[in-house]
Structure 1
């Protein structure tokens, strides 16, 4: 399982220009079963985060590079992998 943070970057003011493409990109990630959750980071003006699974790091990083927000430097990405060893039963599909 991965946590991808999309931290606002140099072209943050252009987010509105790429928002529809970003939303379509997110939808594709959910439709393809890779994204579990996505949303805005709680701290104001920080960016967003995505919880992903059913992928490997290289594939996820390639997918993230396709996000218009990443391609246009609206955000920069930080990816962390979590090897879940204990999960709530509702998350049993993660294989912990």
Structure 2
């Protein structure tokens, strides 16, 4: 499993101008099963995506096609981890 951290590098007005295509991109990867959860950071300095993938290079190729990345409004950092303990309601995360 991977934690993807997006950090905005441009003003929020520029980020918001790319929000609709970014949401379409997110939905595509939820439908494929790659993305598990996502949302804004608080304060709004970027976002976080939980991704299930055993292939860092393939994930990075997907992330490179994010409209935020292609538009130059966000930088992406990828952290891999293995969930070893979870709340009972999300125990399925341990199998990713």
Give 1:93 deviation, angstroms: 3.2
Give 1:4 deviation, angstroms: 0.3
Give 1:27 deviation, angstroms: 0.2
Gaps of 5+ in 2: none
Aligned residues: 95
Report if aligned partners of 1:37, 1:50 keep a CA contact under 8 Å in 2: yes
Q: 1:86 and 1:31 mapped to 2: Cα distance?
A: 26
What TM-score, normalized to structure 1? Answer: 0.85
User: What CA RMSD, in Å, does the superposition of the two structures yield over aligned residues?
Assistant: 1.8
Structure-2 residue corresponding to 1:37? 37
What TM-score, normalized to structure 2? Answer: 0.85
CA change 1:34–1:56 in 2 (3 A) is same
Q: 1:90 and 1:56 mapped to 2: Cα distance?
A: 26
Q: Are 1:65 and 2:64 an aligned pair? A: yes
Give 1:55 deviation, angstroms: 4.1
Give 1:2 deviation, angstroms: 0.3
